Amino acid sequence: MDTNRYCKGCGYCLNELEGPTCPECGRSFDPSDPRTFVRRAPGSNAQKYVGVFTSVLVGSTLLWILIAFRGLFSVLLITPVVIAAAIAALGRRRAHWKLWESVLLVCPFYAWYALTFAFPSAKSLSNLVVEALIISWLVPVAVLSRVVLGREQSTGMITLSVVVAVILAVASVFALVPPLPE
C-alpha cells in the first residue's frame, strides 16, 4: 500500500512531518484520515497537457505582440504582463495557482481581438494603440484580484469570476472608447 501523503491544497509531500499542518500552504491534515490528504503526487497527464497548451498560448501571444508591434509600443504592452507574472509568482502560496489559470495573462487580449475582428469598421488604427494599452493593464489587476481572493472560496470559481469580470471590462473599454482619428 502507498504510504505517501500529499497536501490537497498545494501538493507538498506530508511524509515525516512533525505537525498536522502543511508547511507550504498552512492547510491542516490528519495523518490517520485519508480524506484530508491525497496519496498520489499531483501532476497528472491532463495537467501536463493543459500546462503545455497554456504555455504555448501565453508564449505565442507575447511573441505576436513583439512581432506585430515593434519597438517601444511592444514594451509598453508586455510590461503589464511581466508585472502580472511577478504578482502571480509572489502570491503563489496564497493563491494556490492551477496551471490553467495562467489564461488570466492573455484573456483580455483575446477578448479584445475577438471584439475588434467582430466589429472591424467600428474602430481605427489609433484605437488599436489606445485600447491595447488600456486593456494590457487589466492583466495585472486580474492577477492581483485572483491572489487577494486566493483563499476565500474555491479557486476555480474565483478564477472564472475574474475572467468574466475581465471580459466585461474589455467589452466596456471597447464600447466606451470612441473611434479615434488616424
Provide the residue range defining the domain that includes 126.
52-176
As a whole number of angstroms, the distance between CA 7 and CA 23 comes to: 10
The distance in angstroms from the start CA to the end CA of the chain is 70
Do both 10 and 38 map to the same domain? yes
Is residue 181 in a domain? Answer: no
Going 48 to 52 to 53 to 58, the CA torsion angle's sign is: positive
- Pair 18, 58 in one domain: no
Is residue 47 one of the residues assigned to a domain?
no
Alpha-carbon distance 44 to 115, whole Å?
A: 35
d(CA 69, CA 75): 9
1 and 91 in a single domain? The answer is no
| Predicted confidence pLDDT, tens digits, the chain (182 residues) | 457 888 887 777 888 887 788 887 788 888 888 888 887 765 555 555 555 566 666 667 766 666 666 666 677 777 787 788 778 777 766 766 676 677 777 788 888 888 888 887 778 777 877 888 888 888 888 888 888 876 655 667 777 888 889 899 999 999 998 888 87
| Distance between CA atoms of residues 29 and 14, nearest Å | 9
Domain match, 63 and 151 both: yes
Residue 51 CA, distance from chain mean position: 12
